[in-house]
Chain A
Amino acid sequence: MPSLKQRAACIGIATSPLSVRRDFMGQLTNSVPVSVRQQVDRLGSKFVHVNCIQVGSDQFTSADFVEIDRAVARTRDLYAAAGRSMGVGRVQHFVISTADARGRDVINSDGEAESLTDEWTVPNDALDLFLVRMYVGSTAGLSRVDGPCDKDAKGMDGSVVEMNAGGGLSDFATAHELGHYLGLSHRNNSTALMNPTIPNGGVITTSEADNMRDHCRMKNPC
């Protein structure tokens, strides 16, 4: 049975000192129940690292932090329950202040979401997930389908998701948009995670999971 420290080292987290909840699980609060044992097991499947980037970070509240934690936990659960299991590995948190965001903390069009990812990135091997508190319009996120892994490549190199504290929808939206980036398109089936309406059944089929597992952002099992 692999140890926590082995798994932490495998996903590139310093093991000394190691905060299990913050570093290994990537949680910002103590509010969302998580299972360390389960996460250790899940890293035995293919997984993707994620950078959670708060845009307009000084306006994020403790309720938003809980929502982010819930989104990460839900995405892990949905990906683990996929037709072929996957994981979310290292989750690290970053911030863009309201001043530095220059108006992009309130996204008013898909073009602005794209601009955000054009201008910012975390130079590591994780998928950039830009979290905004307000995405005006009938949609609540934007991502490329089958996004690139080279962060020096042109074009949208991350996903943008509205983090609506208390709305209880950001978790599905996060899993959905990351699903796009990892290669999935929309489906009409109402139980599918990739159904464009949120919330949905959250199901990822085996063939979808195979598609995601083949994405260049996916890491081999620990």
Chain B
Amino acid sequence: MSVLIGSRKDRTVSGAIAALDGKPTTLTTGTAIGILVEAAAASPGSQAGKRATTALTKALTGHEEPQVRVAAAKALGRIDAPAAVRALRRVADDEVDGQLVAAASEGLARLGTRADTRRLTGAADRATWEHAVTAAGVSTRLLAHRLGLRLDPADVALRLPGEDAPTLPVTGRIKARIHDVELPVPRKAAVPDPQWAALVPSDAAPVGAFDCGGRTHVVLATGDPARLREAPGVAGALLGTNESMGTTYVRWVVLTRPEGDGVAVTVARPTGEVGFVGTGSWGDDGSLTVTVEAVDAPGATAARATATLRGRTFTIDGRAERALTVPRLVPAAFAPR
């Protein structure tokens, strides 16, 4: 669940611009950027949308707070407008700040074109901060899947973080069954959040939901799985739910690429970290059956599941350990400066 910030009076494009300019309002900077991006993404060609995009571009280049610049870059990555894409490309081409390069790369994975793969590869080569190198590589890969561009499977720069990690066998004594459940939200509400919607095929629709150890995932699947036979693609997404706000958000994207007679499957967070890998095969009736296993990563739980998509019908069955298999990371104790 979440909290909403700010008065109704301030929750406008003008209020958000004022907040970014440092004027006293009831908005936080994060909320102000959120309001601007919502206005611009909803209607990029409108007067309000243009004002919002301009304000975000200004924050990207001129705000004194590094994290505000990063947040502005992430926000621009949601606005499908030439001005936003130009701003992100400038960052990817010229910026030395690794955090900004990483944020701009994420945006270009969602908004970019074929030509941006070269730009992102260049950004990865130029970046000195490890996360920026990773983010640019991840973005190149996601962009290729989004646009259906051919990949070189052996290219290490295109491997996602954790994709080559060993899988985790389900050996724990206490296991949970992975099984289909009713959709936890109305069908209309089962949509990707705007931040990551561009990574999910526009024809994707909810085909079911499943429970894995008390955590429910809503499954969005492409309406045209046959295209996954020909080129890398995004088969769909697994959504989490924010019950109080009635919203859903992308928890995992399901990436495929042709391999032999079937497909290689990678289930990754929209920021690129891989959770599951596996393979899929085609049925005579055009159905796609995939089997995936969890990979070794902080906070991972051993799991193995087989899912079938037949038209708009989705079924899944599998097993997972009930508790985490790999411990989470541990933050360091605070030391006063």
Contacts and interface: CB of A to CB of B under 8 A. Distances in A.
Interface of A: 28, 53-54, 56-57, 59, 92-100, 102-103, 105-112, 114-115, 118-123, 133-145, 150-155, 162, 164, 167, 169, 172-173, 176-177, 180, 185-186, 196-198
B130 interface: yes
A153 B334 contact: no
B28 A110 contact: no
B299 A119 contact: yes
Given A92-B334, A119-B299, A122-B330, 18 more contacts: A59-B66, A94-B331, A95-B332, A95-B335, A100-B329, A119-B328, A120-B328, A120-B330, A122-B331, A136-B37, A137-B31, A138-B4, A138-B38, A140-B5, A162-B5, A173-B5, A177-B3, A196-B245
Nearest to A128: B331
A124 to B, nearest CB: 10
A109 B2 contact: no
Given A99-B131, A185-B244, A106 B4 contact: no
Interface in B61-87: 66-68, 70-71, 74-75
Contact of B67 (A59, A120, A143, A197): A59
A112 B299 contact: no
A138 B31 contact: yes
B319 to A, nearest CB: 13
Interface in B240-276: 240, 242-245, 247, 249-251, 269-271, 273
B286 interface: no
Interface stretch (B46-54, B208-216, B224-232, B277-285): B208-216
13 contacts: A95-B332, A111-B196, A111-B251, A139-B34, A140-B2, A140-B31, A142-B1, A145-B1, A145-B244, A153-B324, A164-B28, A173-B5, A196-B3
Contacts of B212: 154
Contacts of A134: 29-30, 33, 67-68, 70-71
Interface residues of B, number: 70
A49 to B, nearest CB: 15
A196 B214 contact: no
Nearest to A181: B1
B134 interface: yes
A205 B243 CA distance: 22
B130 to A, nearest CB: 7
State the main secondary structure of chain B at its contact with A.
mixed
B195 interface: yes
A136 B196 CA distance: 14
Interface in B277-327: 298-299, 301, 320, 322-324, 327
Contact of A103 (B29, B131, B196): B131
B102 A103 contact: yes
Contact of A118 (B31, B130, B214, B328): B328
B323 to A, nearest CB: 4
Contacts of B106: 103
B186 interface: no
Contact of A155 (B27, B28, B214): B214
**Which residue among B5, B27, B35, B251 has the maximum number of chain A CB atoms within 10 Å of its CB?**
B5
Query: Which of A97, A100, A154, A155 has the most chain B CB within a 10 Å cutoff?
Result: A154
B154 interface: no
A106 B331 contact: no
A105 B329 contact: no
